[in-house]
């Protein structure tokens, strides 16, 4: 069996999870691994001198465990010959491919993950829109006053700049202000093209 590993990264509240779930419903043999499932417990996350919990850095996550989970998924699918799910509206030619969508805010800045991707997408948002969306969400622990400006946004810019400076990294940047339908349509078509390439 062939596998296709898709990265869906980018800004907080950029629509990654929603897009991943919608793609899963449209693609055959598709699973999702979410980076949010690999956060360390609050007691293990560092606090800076301002009292901010430093969640938006790689050290706040069990990245090795995440890599292991993805590798285990690839191994188990590549060696399996059984396809269970019938595709809903895709052509028959993708039935013999397993697709994994990995979604998270820090996917492409961790070297061991970078050899695993077939496609990388990165959702972006302008500052005002990101801050507005973030303010409507409830987090555990809750964002403290000044947290977005003092930690979340600067870390997003830092990691995004690292990504843009890495010339060897092929990333498809997506405008998170576009409608969900538009984003879904674009990424879905792109993945179908990738699936067709795998079959050639």
Burial class, 86, CB count within 10 angstroms (exposed 0-12 / middle 13-18 / buried 19+): exposed
Burial class, 146, CB count within 10 angstroms (exposed 0-12 / middle 13-18 / buried 19+): exposed
Residue 172: enclosing H or E segment and its boundaries?
A: strand 172-175
Q: Which residue has the tokens 């507005």?
A: 132
C-beta separation of 28 from 90 below 8 A = yes
Q: What residues are annotated to the active site?
A: 36
SS3 call for 139? coil
CA–CA separation, 148 vs 131, rounded Å?
A: 7
């Amino acid at each position: 069996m062939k596998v296709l590993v898709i990265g869906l990264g980018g800004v907080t509240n950029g629509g990654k999870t929603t897009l991943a779930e919608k793609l899963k419903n449209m693609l055959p043999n598709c699973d999702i691994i979410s980076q949010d499932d690999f956060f360390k417990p609050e007691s293990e996350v560092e606090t800076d001198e301002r009292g901010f919990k430093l969640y938006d850095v790689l050290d706040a996550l069990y990245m090795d465990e995440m890599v292991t989970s993805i590798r285990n998924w690839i191994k188990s699918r590549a060696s399996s010959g059984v396809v269970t799910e019938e595709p809903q509206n895709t052509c028959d030619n993708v039935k013999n491919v397993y697709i994994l969508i990995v979604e998270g805010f820090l996917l492409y800045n961790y070297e061991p993950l970078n050899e695993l991707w077939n496609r990388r997408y990165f959702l972006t948002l302008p500052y005002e829109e990101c801050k507005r969306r973030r303010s409507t969400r409830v987090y555990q622990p809750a964002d403290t006053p000044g947290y977005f400006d003092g930690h979340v946004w600067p870390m997003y810019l830092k990691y995004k700049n690292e990504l843009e400076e890495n010339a060897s990294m092929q990333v498809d940047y997506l405008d998170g202000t576009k409608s969900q339908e538009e984003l879904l349509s674009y990424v879905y078509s792109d993945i179908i093209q990738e699936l067709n390439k795998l079959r050639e």
